Amino acid sequence: MKLHDFDVAGFLKDHWQRKPLLIRSPWDSWVNPVEPDDIAGLACEPLVESRIITRRDHAWELEHGPVAESRFAAAGRDPWTLLVQSVDHYFASVAGLLDQFRFVPNWRVDDVMVSYAVDGGGVGAHFDHYDVFLVQGLGRRRWEIGPLCDDDTPLLPHDGLRLLADFQATEEWILEPGDILYVPPRFAHRGTAVGDDCMTYSIGFRAPSRGELIEAWADDMVPDLADSDRYTDAGLAQQDNPGEIGAAAIARLQAMIAETLHDQDRFARWFGQYSTAPKNPEIDWQPEHPADIDDVRQHIAAGQRIIRNPASRFAFVRQTSSSVMLFADGHGFACADDAAAFAQAICATAELAVSPDIAAPVLELIVWLYNVGCIAFDGDE
């Protein structure tokens, strides 16, 4: 499936992080990527994040997975929705949906959440702090869009759900299979299944908060800071009032922090590792027996393509015209020349054919990625 007749440049200019957009059936052909029974089965797995949200007697009930198989058979007549996170990490057909949205940088991608709802099911009116493409897979869903929200927007009292206390829709559409609704951050929205067997694919994008970045960046830096690197004030002038923290001291103290924070190269290395840390490290492709260069050569000579673990995250930061720093699952690799070209290629596509006359540095990089489970060969059992 591919998007056709979709103006990416126009979308990024006029809608991305600005205003919602309904996109009617933009695919060359639409085929629902995964069946409802597969989603239900995934929700029963202990390492998969899943939830069931039920609207009962004008109240919202939240259940966290894993879900017992008997739970679905025992579901009552009240409207309910099953939500399963990171389905793209388990089904290649769902991961393929992401390929159509690569006009947004990979590091911004979070995951593909799949919801299955019976008639009237939904999660209530809410807003998110991230962008989302809502792709209708099966059935029909009514989407209502409301105004922009912020941290002061009133919410209903609930321990596990952030639902709006007062929702007033300004636009409304019913989505059919293959339709897409884009919702920018902080726009109120509500989706409600119209009929049974309603499946929606939510392609969410990460947007780290300032607080998250500062906390994580500081945690990474602090262990490397020497205890002897301390405040100094040689040439101290006597103050009229010893109780004052003087302007010169404030400036000097702030500079101690700012100088450390402003190391852009170090920040780039840290952020590459931070942003590619795996969300589901338990999805392990590590081989039973580690491979060596000869093993990798044999795979390549047999014409086998490299495939990325869908649960792995890849990104790179350009350093010079011929070198990059490759990041994969929180690890960093300095790559130059042929290795840099390979690094950029593996970041751009989920499958990659490699020439048999590959250079030694590239082979070494492939061996490492293979042994830690970031990649495999399409001939692996």
Residues 75-119 have pLDDT tens digits of 778 999 999 999 999 999 999 999 999 999 999 999 999 999 999
CATH of residue 329: 3.40.366.30
Find the mean pLDDT for residues 176-188: 97
Predicted local confidence at residue 381, as pLDDT:
57
Q: Is residue 13 part of a domain?
A: yes
Predicted local confidence at residue 17, as pLDDT:
96
Look at residues 205, 228, 243 and tell me which one is the last residue of a structural domain: 205
Same domain, 21 and 155: yes
Same domain, 183 and 314: no
Q: What is the mean pLDDT of the chain?
A: 94
For residue 18, pLDDT over 70 is answered with: yes
For residue 57, pLDDT over 90 is answered with: no
Same domain, 197 and 304: no
Look at residues 205, 227, 257 and tell me which one is the last residue of a structural domain: 205
Q: How far apart are CA 115 and CA 94, in angstroms?
A: 13
Same domain, 311 and 197: no
Look at residues 166, 182, 205 and tell me which one is the last residue of a structural domain: 205
Same domain, 307 and 200: no
Q: Is residue 128 part of a domain?
A: yes
Tell me the per-residue pLDDT of 294-350, one tens digit each, with 9 for 90 and over: 999 999 999 999 999 999 999 999 999 999 999 999 999 999 999 999 999 999 999
Measured from the Cβ of residue 298, the count of other Cβ atoms closer than 10 Å reads 13
The model's confidence at residue 165, banded by pLDDT at 50, 70 and 90, is very high
Q: How far apart are CA 101 and CA 203, in angstroms?
A: 9
Would you say 202 and 112 are in contact if contact means Cβ atoms under 8 Å apart?
yes
Predicted local confidence at residue 84, as pLDDT:
98
Residue with tokens 């409304």: 172
Would you say 252 and 233 are in contact if contact means Cβ atoms under 8 Å apart?
yes
- Percentage of the chain lying above the pLDDT 70 cut: 99
Q: Is residue 249 part of a domain?
A: no
Q: Is residue 23 part of a domain?
A: yes
Predicted local confidence at residue 380, as pLDDT:
73
Q: Is residue 360 part of a domain?
A: yes
Range of 331's domain? 293-377
pTM of the predicted model as reported, rounded to 2 decimal places: 0.91
Q: Is residue 216 part of a domain?
A: no
Q: How many domains does the chain have?
A: 2
Q: Is residue 210 part of a domain?
A: no
